Amino acid sequence: MGRWNPNARGRLEQAALELYDQRGFEQTTVADIASRAGVVERTFFRHFADKREVLFGGSSALQDLLVQGVAEAASSLAPMDAVASSLEAAEVFFSAERREHSRQRQRIISANRELQERELIKFASLSTALAEVLRGRGVSDLAATLTADAGMAVFKAAFERWMDETHPRDFRALVREVLEVLRAVVAHP
């Protein structure tokens, strides 16, 4: 097997997505993924804890980016503006080249209840991390929790629109648009 071939992680991700799409998540084994990628199973487990993590492996990097963005935001910014600024910076994860990959990933998640639950847990973890960094900026517990949850709602709506073929705009623009809608809804008498 291709133990020394470059980019084993990338090949494993591609193989997993192809197999999940073709056979379904539950019907695909780690052995299937490793074989398609040209590596041994042990190599798979060097890169991923389990076959679900192939779909969620970027979550920690996204969380780090969002938390850092809020932590480094100007102290004069309102909590929601700090979160919005951080969400806009997440566009580095959502380039036009990654759109089809994201669509494929989302189709796989949408077809499996276990993966949907895993995605909700990841969103909850992101929200908790954002709330924690907001508290570190002096925001009250309730305001930090509400702001973080609203930020994740903005993120999710922007992400869904970004994947939609009828909205080919960049992620940053979509975050701004969704945030404007949220602000209008909140401000409406």
Q: What is the DSSP string of 138-151?
A: T--HHHHHHHHHHH
Domain positions in the chain: 8-50, 58-187
pLDDT, mean over the chain = 92
Q: What is the pLDDT of residues 139-189, one digit of tens each?
A: 999 999 999 999 999 999 999 999 886 667 889 999 999 999 999 998 876
Mean pLDDT within 52-74: 93
In angstroms, the first-to-last Cα distance of the chain is 65
What is the DSSP code string of 83-126?
HHHHHHHGGGG--GGGHHHHHHHHHHHHT-HHHHHHHHHHHHHH
Domain 8-50 grouped into CATH 2.160.20.10: no
Burial of 133 from C-beta contacts in 10 A (0-12 / 13-18 / 19+): buried
Say what the pTM is.
Answer: 0.87
The pair of three-digit structure tokens given for residue 146, joined into one six-digit string:
């509400």
Where residue 94 falls among pLDDT bands split at 50, 70, 90? confident
Closest CA to 52 of 105, 6, 1: 105
Token pair, residue 138, equals 């002096």
Distances (CA, A) of 54 to 44, 91, 123, 157, 169: 10, 21, 16, 23, 27
Check if CATH label 1.10.357.10 holds for domain 58-187: yes
Q: What number of residues does the chain have?
A: 189
d(CA 122, CA 86): 17
pLDDT value, residue 5: 64
pLDDT score recorded for residue 3 = 46
The DSSP symbol for 168 reads -
- Amino acid identity of residue 72, one-letter, is E
CA 10 from chain centre, in angstroms, equals 17
pLDDT at 6: 75
Instruction: Give the pLDDT mean for 135-140.
Output: 97
